[in-house]
Structure 1
Amino acid sequence: MSPERLQELTARYRRLRLVVAGDFCLDRYWDIDPALAETSLETGLPVHNVVRVRAEPGGAGTILNNLAALGVGAIHPVGFCGEDGEGWELRRALAARPGVVLDDFLTTTERHTFTYGKPLIHEPGRPPKELNRLDIKNWTPTPPALSAKLADAVERLGRTADALIVLEQVDRAETGVVTAPVREAVRRLAGTRPDLPIVADSRRGLRDFPPVLFKMNRRELAALTGGAESDLEAIEVCGRTAAALARRNSRPVVVTLAEAGLLAAEPDGRIVHLPALPVRGEIDIVGAGDAVTANLTAALAAGANLQEALELATLAASHVIHQLGVTGTATPEDLLRLLPELPAPRLWRTPSD
């Protein structure tokens, strides 16, 4: 990709209207100074003294953060939070992002706000060290009336959006935003707008999702196609497996390969592999996958082909993994600066069955 093409695509972002439907979480960071460590007089246990508290959108909110950093003009989150302190903080954090429209982000007394509590010890000259997390989740099914509202929002907003991202963060089926009614709304939307970029990612796996653009890692691809993750270590085998799934779904498949980069397969058997950029010092991989999803989708919505979208996603992933102690984002300027380091893609085609 030339610098001119990168700038041409990213200049279109401000005119885009994107929908992010999924499990929005509050990432609460407690920054701990180990020099202030104490021992509790009551229990004799160590006391970690927090010197700063940060609250950031996580889960689907990480994708939203990345879209905002890219300068996307309008971002519509579809999801929920609880009527609790964490929900108040999450709404405030989302509202602070430029371009975010919260009309379909619902507050409900029937759900807790998904929260990831992350205590971080900061020692001079060292990366932050994360202690045991304190999480808040929902363990019961999402109420049907709430699911119906979310499904309606997905279908309504999707009629005029430039792209839709669907992210399932929860581990237990039907306890988050992406319930059966929401998946059915996505299926209908994909049928009525076949050219609309719809990108789906799920921590549980995409087995019960409608055929849209699937974004997954090696383990998830193996689980979905009935193989073993070890069988997909070879890039060629992974590409062949992804291409078979793409043919079955009549939609592209994108696979994250950790330090080996990204791979995409088209329904016609075309495959592109983008190696990762060289690592520059300490890294933190948290949020890299969400940066890939956001940049991939924004690029496709702006008119990029799949290889171009993969190139932008590769640049973004390289940038965010070098942001330590936070879930990072990348701006168009960050992508442009890294462009000279982008490795050459490898392209090939698998024969049709």
Structure 2
Amino acid sequence: MTASDITALFQRFSTIRVGVIGDFALDLYFTLQTQTGERSLETKRDVFWGSHPRASLGAAGNVVQNLMALGIANCRVIGCVGNDLFGREMHYLLNTLGVDTRHLYTVPDGWDTCLYTKPNLNGQEANRIDFGVANQLADNLFATLITGLEEALTDLDVVVINQQFASPLLTESRMAVLNELIARFPTVRFLADMRDMGTQVRGATLKVNTTELANFLQIKAPESPDLDWCTRHGNAFRERSGGPLLITRGQAGMLYLDQRETQRAEGLSLRGELDTVGAGDTVVATWAACMGAGAAPTQAVQIANLAAAVTVQKLNQTGTASLSEILALHAMHANHD
């Protein structure tokens, strides 16, 4: 693709209507200092110091902020937060982006807003403290979410389905309900990123990495799966699921498989330290935007590959990729080639 081709495609992104349903979280970054010389007068324990706190949208929320960075102007979210300070911060961040949060429900009791802490200790991520790991969504609240999604589907072009947590919003039985909606709205394009529930997806494009693919097939993946391994096992899984498959291969690039064609993007040579946190969300958002804009898979796989390469070069953050950043990377590698 040329830079003009990429720009023309991005110009169509502003008209796309995208919904995101699934596990919404916050990432809380801060600098941690453990050697402070201070002890608590009350507990007699060492006191640690934190500084430079900043919150960023994570999990399904990171898909949303990636969509907005790509130029999507109409995005609707379907999910849950708790009645707590993290839930209020999530609403604030989404509203600041201009996201439609009418179907982001605040659960009054028994639900902690999902939070990943990211303490930076001497340049390395220290032990996390996570919130929301024990959440269990009641069936009546899930029914409310599905009603909201069904209402939204009459006005959406693309829906991203996200499953991130060990106790997810979308369990195996609930995926059956979602699959029924996928079948009922054939004009809507569905893209799923499911850490554990990928085997339950029917009729949607499924994004996986090589580890997830091996887990879904209950096989052991080689240390560095080559293209032949990904193609063989990807097609085996695709025939079971009945939908297209997008396989991310880290620095080796990515691969798209459906019943008609196979498309791939080679990995890009990147220098310096890399941070892969959130890169999968960037791929999902970029692929969703390309689907909505009517891009061919051969175009979408190249742009998603460029977007992921932009994100992994952003350290200590849940990064995003914009048109200008993608064009700059495209020009750099075009000149190098």
What TM-score, normalized to structure 2? 0.92
Q: Distance in 1 between matches of 2:162 and 2:239?
A: 22
> How far did 1:272 drift?
2.1
Q: Within 5 Å, which residues of 2 pair with 1:1-353?
A: 1-32=1-32, 37-42=36-41, 46-98=46-98, 100-110=99-109, 111-121=111-121, 128-172=123-167, 176-179=168-171, 182-230=174-222, 233-268=225-260, 270-341=261-332
Residues 194-220 of structure 1 show CA distances to partners (whole Å, capped at 9, x for unaligned) of 342211111214122333111111121
Q: Distance in 1 between matches of 2:327 and 2:112?
A: 40
Q: Which runs of 5+ in 1 are unaligned?
A: 344-353
Q: Distance in 1 between matches of 2:304 and 2:12?
A: 16
Residues 78-137 of structure 1 show CA distances to partners (whole Å, capped at 9, x for unaligned) of 001000111111111111113x0011000012311011112113x5xxxx3211111012
> How far did 1:247 drift?
3.4
**Structure 1 vs Structure 2 CA RMSD:** 2.1
Q: Distance in 2 between matches of 1:33 and 1:226?
A: 42
Verify the 8 A CA contact 2:280 2:308 in the aligned structure 1: yes
Q: Distance in 1 between matches of 2:137 and 2:76?
A: 21
> How far did 1:45 drift?
5.0
Q: Distance in 2 between matches of 1:278 and 1:46?
A: 45
Counterpart code for 1:29: Y
Verify the 8 A CA contact 1:200 1:212 in the aligned structure 2: yes
> How far did 1:227 drift?
2.3
The alignment partner of 1:280 has SS state of coil
Q: Distance in 2 between matches of 1:279 and 1:231?
A: 21
Q: How many residues align?
A: 332
Q: Distance in 2 between matches of 1:58 and 1:33?
A: 24
Q: Distance in 2 between matches of 1:104 and 1:182?
A: 17
Residues 143-175 of structure 1 show CA distances to partners (whole Å, capped at 9, x for unaligned) of 011100111122221232110000011113xxx
Verify the 8 A CA contact 1:14 1:73 in the aligned structure 2: yes
Q: Distance in 1 between matches of 2:31 and 2:212?
A: 33
The percentage of aligned residue pairs carrying the same residue is 28
What TM-score, normalized to structure 1? 0.88
> How far did 1:67 drift?
0.5
Verify the 8 A CA contact 2:290 2:300 in the aligned structure 1: yes
Verify the 8 A CA contact 2:172 2:197 in the aligned structure 1: no
Verify the 8 A CA contact 1:186 1:210 in the aligned structure 2: no
> How far did 1:28 drift?
1.3
Q: Distance in 1 between matches of 2:234 and 2:118?
A: 35
Verify the 8 A CA contact 2:244 2:259 in the aligned structure 1: yes
Residues 50-93 of structure 1 show CA distances to partners (whole Å, capped at 9, x for unaligned) of 22211111110010010011110111010010001111111111
Q: Distance in 1 between matches of 2:211 and 2:129?
A: 26
Q: Distance in 2 between matches of 1:265 and 1:86?
A: 39
